[in-house]
Structure 1
Amino acid sequence: MAESVVGFLINQLSALLSQETKLLGGLRPDVQFIKDELGSMKAFLRQAEAKEDNDSQLQEWVKQVREVAYDTVDVLDDFAFRFARGHADGFIGRVGKIYNSIMNLKARHQISLEIKDIKARVVEISARHQRYQSLYGTQEIGSSSSNVANADYDIRDQALLIEEAKLVGIDQPKKELISEVLDDNSHLKVVSVVGMGGLGKTTLVKKVYDDAVVKKQFQSHAWITLSQNFQFNVIIKDLIQQLYEEIRQPVPPQVESMNRVRLSQFVRDFLKERRYILVLDDVWSLDAWEAIKYVLPDYNIASRVVLTTRITDVASASCLASHDFIHKMSPLSYEDSWTLFCNRTFQSNGCPSNLEKVCRKILKKCEGLPLGIVVMGGDGKWIALGFVEEEEGMIATDIAMRYLKELINRSLIQVKDTWYDGQLEECGLHDILREIIVSKSKEQSFTAIITGYCTRWPDKVRHLAIHNFTGNPPQGFSSLKCLRSVETFGNKDFLTTSFLSKFLCGGPKFLKVLNLASAELDSIPKAVFKLFHLEYLDLSGTRVKIIPKSIGQLQNLESFNLAETTITELPVEILKLRKLRSLVVGRMGDYSNNFSVWGFKSPDGIGKLTSLEALRIIEANSGKIVREIGKLIRLRELSITKLRREDGKELVSSLLRLTNLRELYIYSIKEEETLDLQHSVSPRLGFLTRLSLTGRLERVPEWVMSLQSLGTLALLNSELTEDENAIDCLGHLPNLVDLALSGAYEGETLCFKAGGFPKLKELGIVQLKRLKWVSVEEESMPNLQQFVIVGCKLMEGLPLGLQNLTELKVLALADMSDELIHEIQNLDKQSEDYQTISHISQVCIGHWINGEWKEEFL
């Protein structure tokens, strides 16, 4: 954590120092000194933080670095807050204009004293830093992979020492792996074991590696642990040492002085005529695997490499040959978890009855992770995780998504659900990992979570989460002056305009994130507009009706969310927010109100907000607004409503410039209005993955057929005719996985032809009011998993050819004719119709009975 904070601070100081000398005046040397000293500490911090739990003095040093970094950030933010508010020419320009103002001399003097105080603290911390560099020089920290993350290895080593008789849930996977290792394939084979930390990968592989049957099949055996700090020469020398110890020979002295190439050749020469088994435990990167695999010879003598990793990409990259094998670890069953817990905690004597309730509660937190169970039942140390550093040339949105995917790839964040086009819908944390994060954050005054009943606010915390709060909130907000973010969940009762006014006036002036989604707000507290540093403001789901002109004061605002409010218009002052990246305003209806859409009326000049990446739902109340949108060349998501027929060609002209679009949603001004989206030049929307068109279409725009990346398509109220073969042409989109047709087709029959929709997984047919029959030819939609038909009341029977959809898992029919519902409910199990749906695991029927919606499953 300290390393991350220091890195962020160094970037801020660098930006400040790169400006004119007069900006800082006499403070410049002090600021430069602070930057240089913290820079020299940064490289030491990550390794120091990994060892701090075992060293109280080192722990205190890391704490001091973290606190001085936080305090420096506070001073810099205060500097900007005092000198930069109310000016619109950029940070440096604003400060420079008022630098000599007499009214700011007192404030400048105060900040000067604070910086000099920080400098004195840095001098003392730096002296301690020098002492620790002497004590923990490169030989101690970071010189060998075996010394990195000792907390990790202590726990892993304990797991390896558990007797096999005391292990549970290991028999079947052990047999499977032994079978793969000992098969009759003569080539070098890689067996990868992948899963999140704590699932017992290392323990399982160790039992396979030590098995007597496995041992006797190989001439050479070696076990190498890589972990994060991979150093090739150290690893290869360790491998050589093990190989020579096994044959009871000393390692040739020349090995010590060999370079990378000679070491690699030495190992290859040693192993080329030997049948070997090598375990590579805890491989963290593709680079590590790529470096080692070229050392391993394959002379058709059935050698084996067994690899453990938390990272899915590493497992995939290591097992490219057809005979390679990937084993995905699964959590233990509850019964096996309980057995392991009792073995570990009570030495197989069973759990005392008076402790069983609390023990089962602890066990539930472990969710079947063997290492978590061992740790909870014994004397656990925890793995300290680093952060991915920002790289140049990437926008913030991509960096944030890369962070998330990196954590998912390392099995630290669990994917709960995804959309059919592969985009993430819901993620979660394992309870144990969450508790580690919460504990560390609390210890470092980084994040505090207020839940249930609370009598006082936490001291000097920087991030505050409030959820499911009960009772009256505590008074007195002076302890919250360091707050940078406030997140609220499920606190409708007390999050009123009155409370928030007191909260913001009495506490945090450096707030950057304020999430008030679904709060009981009728208006925005005036104090919000004094938060000069605010970058993220979420008022979605509130009762706020008006956005005042004061919004223009939030010059650093980057994300503004007003979704699901009744806001219909924004003031011209919104155009002052030149850093705004995301602007979300408007409401969406559902099936019950015909998917109605309410957007917002934009002031002229929306094209000035050139940093916008997401804009929704803007009203096309004039051709001028549509032209202005073409200036927003960084847009990735656009929702536009109230489009008239005459605006269509202008919109397509704007789309020609919006080459970064990923999502596009277009709604006509009224249901019977035609969307004229044809153009002599097709827009190049090569990144577009989602498209929704709501309004009449004379035909599907030709440029839609060129969208090679399109994964999700929705056509609503399109009223396409049967003569135009419109649905057939959509079947040629190569990556379409989700198709919704709502009021989109006027024909009586709809046929999905052979070879069409090769990747489609979800199909929705809604309110096709003239539709009588649907048919599916062989080799059409071969990957379809979910088929939903709603409100097509003239349909006379089940879709023909359902038996051709061999991957179909869900068939749902809702709001259909009473005759069809009755027919399906009374299908004879011997009938042909029943046989066509017998392979579908879930068939659902929804209908109204006496004013209530009912669902039943066949």
Structure 2
Amino acid sequence: MLDFLRATAEYFLKVLEQARKIRPSTTEKIKSLEEKIRIAANKAKDAVDLKIFQIIKDTSLMKKSIRREDLLPVVEKMDITKREVMETLSEFSTSISDIVDDEIVEVSILPNLGSAIVWGLDDDVELIVERLRGQQSDLDIVTVSGMGGIGKTTLARRTHDHLSIRYHFDLRIWVTISQEYRRRNIFLDVLHCISKQANVSIGEDYDKKDDNELADLVRKNLMGRRYLVVVDDIWSTDVWDRIRRIFPECNNRSRILLTTRDTKVAMYADSNSPHHMTLLDLDNSWKFICDRVFGPEHDHPPELEEIGKEIAEKCQGLPLTISVIAGYLSKTARTLESWKYVTESLSEIVASHPDKCLGVLGLSYNHLPNHLKPCFLSMSSFPEDFQVETCQLIQLWIAEDFISVSESGKSLEEVAKDYLEDLISRNLIGVRKRRFTGEIKACGMHDILREFCLTEVEMTNFMHVKSTNPTLPTQKHNVCRFNFQTQTFLVEDCCKQLPPTARSIYLFCDSLFSKRGSSVKLEVFSRFNFLRVLAIFHEDVEPPSFPLSITKLFHLTYLAIRCSGKLPASMSMLRNLQTLVIPVDGYNNISLPGKIWMMKKLRHIHVGGAYYFPSPRRERIRNKHLPIGLPNLVELSAPYYSNCTNEVFSAIPNLKKLNIHVSCIRMVDLLDNRLIDMSSLRKLEALKWFQQWSAEDSARKIEQEQQDMGNNFLKVYIHSSGSYWNNILRDNISEA
């Protein structure tokens, strides 16, 4: 029965992957299909996880065989769903199994921003025009990339219609990539443009010609002419390869201008100097609004300028959003009260124009491969304007089972980084901070993309997100992920309404309160036996001790919880835990138990302050016949320096990131007396050093310490605080 469930799930995966290639007119049917599959798969997963939990809770069950009846209901449900899926597929005009990549590709063109001037594009236009009129004789490919709604089509149109471009090229051809793209249609569009502009008759017997004959006809009629072809909003390298073949190399300074939402496609077509569009600055955003609302003279009431710029800033430089908001403003009263309403309800206004705004971004989402969709939707887990650390995001993706095991031997973290890079390349996630090495440190999402995410997660029951003090509806039974982004969180009320099958709970709030107004006891979360992710981020002044009842959550893979004191030995019962995060500030008395060496699946231990990390010696004595160590641990942050011994490091041989906390002593004395033996850490990539500096003494030795540390480690970070020491660092940063 387990084999049947797995085989059916694999069949569903293949169906969903192929369903992406069906023409967009069937989108609603595909979403209905996904919903049926998701519900059946979740029920099967719940049944299996419940049986595992029962066995772990009562070890006597291990001696008994699992009865056929235990899984029969979910097997029958999966079988019924499979038949429904097959029946739904039969309704499509083209069977999924017969779809050929060459024939239909889901792509789309952004709706034109109309006749409105998009301010801030003049420099972009001049750069593209100069490139197109360059002296290079070979056929040059010029690419423009950027997120949906940023104005790529508008830029391409202004370039195409530019006076100098009109006189420079014999032929200017605009190729629109339609939603139901077929190569044949592209060939016909190009032939129509040639016939119209060159005033030649190509013939009308197109229906009698096959695709190869049409392609030859295009090449023949372009040969010898200096042409410009604009290929607008292309999605994949495969589509580009098929289109590229019909444009001949005439060695006469012909050009192709290509726009795309995917930076990888732009790099593939134009590896030399692809042009990446950026968001508008505040000044140009405000001019754009003025142009649409007040006309070219920009004659507006002075009292509206400040609030108008506030609205422009909230649009975050995206022309598509600005266009929608400006259209709304043009129909409202030009009063301070009306415009204040717009600033307070901008997200709702954008969401009320799905065809103009969210629908455009939905095209990017629908075109994503299935393995990237949950990663993208997970960005709705974070509050507005939140900058999420890359390492935190990746750990959550792994904990949620969004990351597939790589056949190439890459680690889960490496695969997750590839996923993130892919989403960034598609301009769906933005880079907010980079490390000095160029690595992505933090990322975020444009507000309009987040708004789309929030809409999509609710429609698909992927997650329930509440950003006000929550009163959760009881009918949310099909949702397994819950997210609360409130200033205060009334835990008891909400936990009573969450289904016991909840798998992920995220809390972003200032404080946790019970009904009585006091700090809540975190034991309330122990009733969720299927829970995989419990991420609690709050700022209570006095963090509680580690809640013992949480150690019973056998399926837990990610735990972020603010607490203090010694963690209990019973936490070793969390056998599936991969990430432990204790986000505390300053110094505390956190102490990890010796039993932590039995938690074999741990990958990341991150404690905000210094803590005691046990030696494996005592556990080796207690468990002579069991291997002691954490073979999967790749990140350890930030144990006391005194705990960093070769004995500890030998038991975590695959460690890649190590953050060490040094007590308030002179660092030079510490280095002179006992260097850390890191010979066991063959895979170490980064060392981060936290120290309470004895500033005056240590400053005298800064050059020596920089040289000693810099020569020994691949990366070294020094964290300091206090104006005196910061001045010392600033004066010596060039040597550092």
Fold conserved (TM > 0.5)? Answer: yes
From the superposition, tell whether residues 471 and 654 of structure 1 become closer, same or farther in structure 2 (CA, over 3 Å): closer
Give 3-state SS (helix, strand or coil) of 2:464's partner.
strand
Separation of aligned partners in 2, 1:548 and 1:375: 54
Work out whether residues 347 and 451 of structure 2, in 8 Å CA contact, stay in contact via their aligned partners in 1.
Answer: no
1:558 maps to 2:566: no
Task: State the 1:559 CA deviation.
Answer: 0.5
Separation of aligned partners in 2, 1:169 and 1:536: 45
Q: What TM-score do the two structures reach when normalised by structure 1?
A: 0.63
Q: Deviations over 1:236-290 (max 9, x none)?
A: 676567546754313887995576xx98877655534110101122233456556
Q: Corresponding residue for 1:662?
A: 685
Gaps (5+ residues) in structure 2? 295-322, 372-403, 621-627
In terms of fraction of residues, the more helix-rich structure is: 2
Task: State the 1:537 CA deviation.
Answer: 0.7
Give 3-state SS (helix, strand or coil) of 2:505's partner.
strand
5 Å-filtered alignment, 1:421-436, equals 421-436=437-452
Q: Which residue of 339, 343, 355 corresponds with 1:361?
A: 343
Give 3-state SS (helix, strand or coil) of 1:608's partner.
coil
Give 3-state SS (helix, strand or coil) of 1:399's partner.
helix
Separation of aligned partners in 2, 1:286 and 1:375: 27
Q: Corresponding residue for 2:486?
A: 468
Q: Corresponding residue for 1:578?
A: 600
From the superposition, tell whether residues 100 and 347 of structure 1 become closer, same or farther in structure 2 (CA, over 3 Å): closer
Aligned residues with identical type, % of pairs? 21
Q: Which residue of 357, 362, 380 corresponds with 1:382?
A: 362
Counterpart of 1:509, as a letter, is N
Which structure has more RCO (C-alpha within 8 Å, separation ≥ 6)?
2
Q: Corresponding residue for 2:400?
A: none
Gaps (5+ residues) in structure 1? 1-26, 88-96, 588-596, 676-693, 718-739, 744-763, 768-787, 791-798, 806-858
Counterpart of 1:663, as a letter, is A
Work out whether residues 582 and 614 of structure 1, in 8 Å CA contact, stay in contact via their aligned partners in 2.
Answer: yes
Q: Corresponding residue for 1:115?
A: 75
Q: Corresponding residue for 1:526?
A: 548
Q: Which moved more, 1:125-134 or 1:264-273?
A: 264-273
5 Å-filtered alignment, 1:470-619, equals 470=488, 472-473=490-491, 474=493, 477=496, 479-494=498-513, 498-505=520-527, 508-518=528-538, 520=540, 521-539=543-561, 542-564=562-584, 566-585=588-607, 587=609, 600-604=613-617, 608-619=629-640
Which of structures 1 and 2 has the bigger CA Rg? 1
Separation of aligned partners in 2, 1:448 and 1:49: 29
Separation of aligned partners in 2, 1:58 and 1:667: 52
Q: Deviations over 1:575-597 (max 9, x none)?
A: 1210000112352xxxxxxxxx6
Counterpart of 2:440, as a letter, is L
1:159 maps to 2:112: yes
5 Å-filtered alignment, 1:773-852, equals 788-789=730-731
Work out whether residues 388 and 403 of structure 1, in 8 Å CA contact, stay in contact via their aligned partners in 2.
Answer: no
Q: Corresponding residue for 1:751?
A: none
Give 3-state SS (helix, strand or coil) of 1:73's partner.
helix
Q: Deviations over 1:748-783 (max 9, x none)?
A: xxxxxxxxxxxxxxxx7627xxxxxxxxxxxxxxxx
Task: State the 1:122 CA deviation.
Answer: 3.2
Give 3-state SS (helix, strand or coil) of 1:308's partner.
strand
Work out whether residues 522 and 544 of structure 1, in 8 Å CA contact, stay in contact via their aligned partners in 2.
Answer: yes
Q: What TM-score do the two structures reach when normalised by structure 2?
A: 0.72
Separation of aligned partners in 2, 1:603 and 1:556: 20
Task: State the 1:418 CA deviation.
Answer: 2.7
For the aligned residue pairs, the C-alpha RMSD in angstroms reads 4.8
1:101 maps to 2:60: no
Work out whether residues 338 and 363 of structure 1, in 8 Å CA contact, stay in contact via their aligned partners in 2.
Answer: no
Counterpart of 1:533, as a letter, is H
5 Å-filtered alignment, 1:21-36, equals 27-28=1-2, 30-31=4-5, 34-35=8-9
Give 3-state SS (helix, strand or coil) of 1:415's partner.
strand
Task: State the 1:231 CA deviation.
Answer: 7.9
From the superposition, tell whether residues 290 and 139 of structure 1 become closer, same or farther in structure 2 (CA, over 3 Å): closer
Task: State the 1:654 CA deviation.
Answer: 2.2
Work out whether residues 341 and 377 of structure 1, in 8 Å CA contact, stay in contact via their aligned partners in 2.
Answer: no
Task: State the 1:603 CA deviation.
Answer: 4.1
From the superposition, tell whether residues 32 and 403 of structure 1 become closer, same or farther in structure 2 (CA, over 3 Å): closer
From the superposition, tell whether residues 140 and 446 of structure 1 become closer, same or farther in structure 2 (CA, over 3 Å): same
Give 3-state SS (helix, strand or coil) of 2:73's partner.
helix
Task: State the 1:629 CA deviation.
Answer: 0.7
Give 3-state SS (helix, strand or coil) of 2:43's partner.
helix
Work out whether residues 552 and 576 of structure 1, in 8 Å CA contact, stay in contact via their aligned partners in 2.
Answer: yes
Q: Deviations over 1:405-460 (max 9, x none)?
A: 22222221222333333233432211111111101101122111223222335512
Work out whether residues 112 and 154 of structure 2, in 8 Å CA contact, stay in contact via their aligned partners in 1.
Answer: yes
Q: Deviations over 1:197-229 (max 9, x none)?
A: 101111221233245653443233333345999
Aligned residue pairs, count: 637
1:638 maps to 2:600: no
Q: Corresponding residue for 2:143?
A: 192
Separation of aligned partners in 2, 1:514 and 1:240: 59
1:413 maps to 2:429: yes
Work out whether residues 690 and 718 of structure 2, in 8 Å CA contact, stay in contact via their aligned partners in 1.
Answer: no
5 Å-filtered alignment, 1:39-54, equals 39=13, 41-47=15-21, 51=25
